[in-house]
A and B are shown apart, each in its own frame.
Chain A
Amino acid sequence: MTTPAPEVAGGQVFEGVSGVFDVGPLGRGSIPSAATKPTRLVGVLSELKDGRGFTHLSLLTAAERPAETAGLKMVYAVKRDVDSTLAMLTVTLDEGALRVPTIAGLWSGAAPLEREVFDLFGVVFTGHPNLRRIVLRDDFEGHPLRKEFPMPPAGVTTERVAWALASHGDDGPALAPETSDPAHSVSLPYPTVTEEAEAPGDPVLHSERLVLNMGPQHPSMHGVLHLWLALEGEQIIAADATHGYLHRCLEKLCESRSYRACTAMVDRSDYVSGFHTELAFLSAVEELAEIEVPRKAQYLRVLMGELARLTSHHTWFAACGLDLGAYTPFLFAFRDREAVLDFFEEITGGRMMFNYFRPGGVKDDLPPGAAERLRTCLEGIPASIDGFEALLTTNEIFRNRTCGVGVIAPDTIRDFGVTGPMARASRVDVDLRRDEPYAAYADFDVSVPLGECGDTFDRYAVRIAEMRESVRLALQALEGMPEGDFVSPGVPRALKPPAGAAYRRVESPRGELGVYLESDGTAQPWRLKIRSPAFSNLHVTPAVLPGGRLGDLIAIMGSVDVVMGEIDR
């Protein structure tokens, strides 16, 4: 069930790259992995990116080293799209020397990821353009994902956390690091709000630049997103996406829950399509614990994943229409979505938080008769998608609002690590279901819609086409459902995977959703990192929004399909 990478662990990927050592596969999988020193980091990554074609930054995170050696390690994963090869790099840092050079010069999308690591771990990235906290408030003290940060006993609610912190005190590193000299820091390819707000306007007709806060309480911003804008009249000069209002420290909570309980918790990360995070997490667990998943369970996982993609895209469609003033598609989309949610409830027991996948398979088979009724329901969906298209796709006003608006070039996509329908709309042809088939996707013929020029209309059209494709794939899964076990027998109740690390990715409705899991041999994960596609997708907007108008901003944000639960975790 592990997906073999074309190259055997490590050898060819890192061959001839100077500055790496400890080359070998990651954990029990086959991802080539190596270690390097902080001083050589940028050089090695440059060589991989420019010399060997690893143009996509997939993962940037940190993990605590085992208890005996104090310190952290930085984990990087880069990917070569052409043959879907991954390469992982680790950099070990000792306590007291938690500094590493930034790679924001290589990938602009690394900047927000490094801010997150700084926020939650306290690693200082030298040369970073704006190293400040991203998910926690600016005056927060401490770095929560360090093991020394007190984790209240399980079951204690928020008011009790305040009590726990007050009694135990906070002994994390100090808040304000010495960031590098701005003259030597990497510059980002977009203007910043504070600079532009103070910049002089037109010298002849002096106009003031307006700094506007859109959100976090706002009828349009999907979830609690705060957009900080510098406006000149209707034009956006600079934008900054501030989030963190939905941060629940899910990753730390999972470190004190059993693996089975974590499945229920990661549902809440991307709450619009929970199956994909469950699948990524459990794939990593199954790799670590070497559990084989039966074919029937794989088919059920594909079926539920495609249904989740369908409902997620329905939700996106509803919100997209609502942003642009079309109130009716919202209700049509939610009406059709209800039919599928009823099936979710019948099969899994929950409409939104499923907790259906298990290590080794799924919780239960389809109830009797459900397959037939689901087939009938799915066969009616393409006709209702036609109805949606009659409302928006051919509508002249919609076309005027979306065609040519918010064009994102493929280079920008790669620079920021954008994946999923947003990338495919800009003709970056990557889809994990087709390129690196996981679950039972090897048996399916996944056709991937691509856009023309990467504008908002293309992102819209690609998602509509994906909805149709999901219906087709779900019907195919129902058709070809094999007989057999729905869960691998003999998986222990209390799972204790042997120590190791795994990084598994799936294609979620928003893009490349990855789970980096480190186990220390106990019943609880040592480190659980969710690579959120919406996080990278959101952070391309400061580069796309400037130059456009306020009305365009709404259309563009509607096409980015943000889910704050996944972004903030």
Chain B
Amino acid sequence: MSLLKVLLGVVVIVAVVLLNTVVVMWCERKWAGHLQSRLGPMRTGWHGALQPFADALKLLGKEDLMPADADHVLFLVAPVLAYMPSILIYSATPWMEQFTGYSFDVGIFMVFAVAALFPVAILVAGWASHNKYSVIGGFRAAAQQISYEVPMILAVLGVIMLAGSMKLSTIVEAQASVWNIVTQPFAFMLFFIGMLAELNRTPFDMPEAESELVAGYMTEYSSMRFAMFFLAEYTNVFTWSLFATLLFFGGWGGPLPAVLGFVWLFLKTYAMVFLIIWVRWALPRLRIDQLMEFGWKVLIPAALLNVFFTAFGILTNLAVLVALQVALLAGFVWLVGRLGKQAGAGATTPAPTEVAP
């Protein structure tokens, strides 16, 4: 490919990704508002559509601080290190049948490899800030993300087995007849939970728990450096929703003609984004040790079971595969329910006691 084509591709990808990040930010503000019976931003543009730009302008106008004791080089490098994988992942992403950055044969593997850079950036940010809160937040975030990458990869292993290839466009084409959500619902559940932890979203947002650590690893960052972390987070929301769509919801496959496939892709991606936002505003957060326990003791064994039973299902037939997946999903739901109830005595609202005079 000529250099011009490469540059054009890069510009288009970056533009599309940034635009979608902005749309995701707006969606978050509006949907969060409506889920809480309020309106969200209304004044900046039509129904607050320009709010993300207002936020960016505000952040640009803030003073750029660096703590005196901070490690200068690492402090400056961390935001870049956080944002870089967000864009780099798109080198492997297919948008339509013909349009992809670079069609890696090990596409999905490449995605996870690049995503594994996020915990590094967070650790660097936490350490470089020279602040107890940031260090704690950085350690927590890194531990969390590393732990939850494993069940994600194992869950995706089932998808790879079904498609017979790690190439992303092949995986999407393999769903032409039936989407993976039908044949791999349990894997999707695991992938979704792992995705929430990767994104540091509630119920897994311990690292940035406002009420505990101020802003965790981002505490000391201000202005554009903070904006880069912020943007990285929302870009990741879009990225992982996109991958969930590609892996489980048939990508661009759908009723529209092939050239408009990306419309369908975006619609499905934003439905996924809505699900992520919905979960964030509904649930409280898990404590860090509960989070780690859940990841290692529940999700990883479950993901291994998924791989085993998917392989079994592939060797037999489709009906068996689906039945096994549904059974695993039901079992998982029951298990999580039991984990909640058995957490201690006195777990019922006491009836008011009538006191005899």
Contact = CB atoms under 8 A, between A and B. Distances in A.
Interface of A: 210, 212, 218-220, 234, 321-328, 331-332, 335, 389, 391-393, 395-401, 403-405, 429, 434, 447-453, 455, 457-458, 461-462, 464-465, 468-469, 549-552, 554
Given A234-B289, A325-B202, A328-B282, A393 B349 contact: yes
A536 B35 CA distance: 38
Interface in B337-355: 337, 339-341, 343-355
B285 A324 contact: yes
Contacts of A399: 340-341, 343-344, 347
A434 B283 CA distance: 37
Interface in B30-47: 32, 35-38
B201 to A, nearest CB: 10
B77 to A, nearest CB: 26
Contacts of B132: 210, 212
B205 interface: yes
A505 B343 CA distance: 37
A219 B346 contact: no
B211 interface: yes
18 contacts: A234-B288, A325-B211, A325-B284, A327-B32, A395-B284, A396-B340, A434-B355, A448-B353, A449-B350, A449-B351, A455-B344, A455-B346, A458-B346, A458-B350, A461-B348, A462-B350, A465-B350, A550-B136
Contact of B344 (A393, A395, A396, A403): A403
A425 B219 CA distance: 36
Contacts of B290: 400-401, 551
A202 to B, nearest CB: 18
Interface of B: 32, 35-38, 132, 136, 202-203, 205-206, 209-212, 214, 281-290, 336-337, 339-341, 343-355
Contact of A403 (B35, B36, B203, B343): B343
B281 A551 contact: no
B206 to A, nearest CB: 8
Contacts of B349: 389, 393, 461, 464-465
Given A404-B344, A458-B346, A469-B352, A552 B287 contact: yes
Nearest to A472: B352
Nearest to B214: A219
Best-surrounded residue of A396, A434, A458 (most CB of chain B within 10 A):
A396
Closest 9 CB pairs between A and B? A396-B340, A452-B346, A325-B285, A403-B344, A404-B344, A220-B211, A551-B287, A326-B284, A447-B352
A335 B37 contact: yes
B111 to A, nearest CB: 28
B353 A447 contact: yes
Contacts of A449: 350-353
Nearest to A550: B212
Contacts of A457: 344, 346-347
**Which of A219, A405, A462 gathers the greatest number of chain B CB atoms within 10 Å?**
A219
Contacts of A465: 349-352
Contacts of A328: 35-36, 281-282
Given A325-B203, A331-B38, A549-B289, A397 B340 contact: yes
